[in-house]
Amino acid sequence: MEKHFPANKSIIIAISGLLLLRFFSLALYPLMDTTEARYGEMARIMLETQNWVTPMFDYGVPFWGKPPMFTWLSALGYSVFGVNEFGARAPHLLVGAGILLLIYPFATFTFKSARSGLFACVILTSTAAFLIFSGSVMTDTALTFSITMAMVGFWMAWVTGEKKWGYLFFIGLAFGLLSKGPLAIVLVGISLFLWLSINRQWSLLWGRLPWITGTLLMLIIAIPWYVLAELRTPGFLDYFIVGEHIKRFLVSGWEGDLYGSAHTQPRGMIWLLGLIALMPWTPILMAQLGRIWRHSSIQNDEYSGVLSYLICWMLAPLLLFTMAGNILMSYVMPALPAAALLITYLQLKRPIRKVWYGIGAITPALLILVVIVLNTSTVDKLSDKQLAASWLNTPEHKQAQLYYVGEKSFSSQYYSRGIVESITGNVQAWAGKQLQPFFFIQPKTSQALSVISKTWQCVLKSENTKRQLFYCSK
C-alpha cells in the first residue's frame, strides 16, 4: 500500500523544510502577551536567580499554576543562546521534533512500513497548530511529548511484550507530571480506559506492563520536585491540585486564578477548536472516516486494535474538556499525534488520491503570513517590545526608573528585564512623591499624563498603536 504515499525523498524534504522554516521564524517576532511573555519572563527570572525549583511569576512571587518543565526548557535555551526570543522558543521546537521521533517507530512497526512512519511525521509537521505551537513558549508541547511517549510506550509494550517499552510508558507519565501535572495521567487514563473497555482487554492489562517497578520509576522521577516545591512555598499543592485541576475546568470564569484571567468559552467549544487545530487535514480525516464507515470496514482492524486505540487517544482531550469553561486551542495539541497516525492508518485502509496532499502547503504559507503580520504595527497590540527598546535606547534610562500605569504587561516586564514597576492607586499622589526623573508607559486612553504633568515636565519618547512612553523631569 506504499504506493498511496509520496516518495520517501519527497516526505523527508517536506519535513525538513517545515522544521527549518519554523526554526528560522523563532527570532522574527517578539514574545507576546500574555502567555509567551509571561512564561518567557518566568524562565528569565529562573535563570537569573538560579532557583530551579519554583518558577516565579515575579521576583518573590511563586508561580503555582504549572510544574516547571516549560520554564526549565526556556531557561536552558537562554543559557545556550542568550535571553532572547530564539533562546526562549528553540527548546520547545526541539521537543516538538522529539514527538516526531516517537510516532515514527510507532507507525513503522505497527504498519510494517518505514514510509508510513515518515508519512505520519509529515502529516503532523504540516498541521498548522502543531507547527506553530511547537515553536511557542507554552506548556502544551512538553505535555504532548509526554503523552505521546506514554501512549507509544503502552502500545509497543502491549504488542511486543518488551519491558523497555513499558518503562517508556511510565517515564512519559513522569514527564507529564512535570510538564502539566496530574492532567497528563488523566488524559492517558481516559484513552486507555476507553480502549480497554471497547476491546474487552482488561484481563490482559496486568501482565503487559511492569506496573510495580514502572510506577516506582515514575515516582522517583516526578515526586521529588513536588515535595521540594511544597517545602519551598507551602500552599502550592492545594492551589495546584484543587484549583488548577478541578475549579479551572469546572468553574467558568474561575476567579481563583492568581496569575491571569480565565479563558471563558461556551461548553463544548473544544470540539470546534479541535477541528480548527487539525487544519488543513481536517477535511481529509473526515473524508477518510466516512469512507471507512460506508464500506463497513471499521470493524475489520487488521492491525490488532490500533484503529480504536488511535481514536480513543485522539478523542481523550476533547472528551475531557467538553464541559470545561476555561479552554484554549492549544489544549487540543495532545490529540494531534494520534490524528496524524490515524490519517496514516486510514490512508492504508481506504486511500484518498495523492492530489490532496498539496493542501499541506497551506501550513508554511500560513506561517510566513503570520510572521509578516507580526512584523507590522499589529504586534503593538500584543507586545510592548518596541516601547521597552525605546526606553533602553535613551541615555537617561540608567538613572530613571520605568513605570507602567496600571498592571504592567508581561512583555514590558520581560523586555525591561524585570525593571518596570506598576503605578496603581492615586496617580497624582504617586507623582507627588517622586524625587527623581522617571519614565512611564500609559495607554493612549489614560488620563495619567494630564495628572503627572501638573508637577512634572513630560516628553513623549515613543508610542505604538495602543500605548505611549514618556520621560518626566523637573
Per-residue pLDDT of 51-90, as tens digits, reads 999 999 889 899 998 999 999 999 999 999 999 999 999 9
Q: What pLDDT was estimated at residue 7? A: 83
Task: Kindly state the DSSP code that residue 470 receives in the 8-state scheme.
Answer: E
Domain ranges of the chain: 2-373, 380-473
Whole-model pTM: value is: 0.92
All residues at 6 or more sequence positions from 466 whose CB lies less than 8 Å from its CB, including other chains: 380, 381, 443, 444
Q: Taking residues 22-49, what's their average pLDDT?
A: 93
> pLDDT grade, residue 298 (50/70/90)?
very low
SS3 237: helix
Q: Does 242 have pLDDT greater than 90?
A: no
Instruction: Please list the alpha-helical segments (H only) found in 126-267.
Output: 128-134, 140-160, 163-179, 183-199, 205-208, 211-232, 236-237, 248-250
- What residues are paired with 421 via a beta bridge? 403
Q: Taking residues 385-407, what's their average pLDDT?
A: 90
Q: What pLDDT was estimated at residue 299? A: 47
298 or 342: which carries more pLDDT confidence? 342
Q: What pLDDT was estimated at residue 113? A: 85
Q: Does 380 have pLDDT greater than 50?
A: yes
391 or 250: which carries more pLDDT confidence? 391
> pLDDT grade, residue 259 (50/70/90)?
low
Cα–Cα distance between 405 and 448 in angstroms, integer? Answer: 7
Q: What is the mean pLDDT of the chain?
A: 89
Greatest mean pLDDT among 199-213, 245-259, 347-361, 365-379 = 199-213
Burial code of 77-95, b = ≥16 C-beta within 10 A, e = fewer? Answer: bbeebebbbbbbbbbbbbb
User: Which is nearest to 167 in space by CA: 176, 157, 179?
Assistant: 157
Cα–Cα distance between 374 and 30 in angstroms, integer? Answer: 8
Q: What pLDDT was estimated at residue 278? A: 93
Q: Does 112 have pLDDT greater than 90?
A: no
Cα–Cα distance between 117 and 448 in angstroms, integer? Answer: 59
Phi and psi dihedrals of 296, rounded to 5?
A: 55, 30
Q: What pLDDT was estimated at residue 379? A: 75
Q: What pLDDT was estimated at residue 252? A: 57
Q: What pLDDT was estimated at residue 117? A: 94
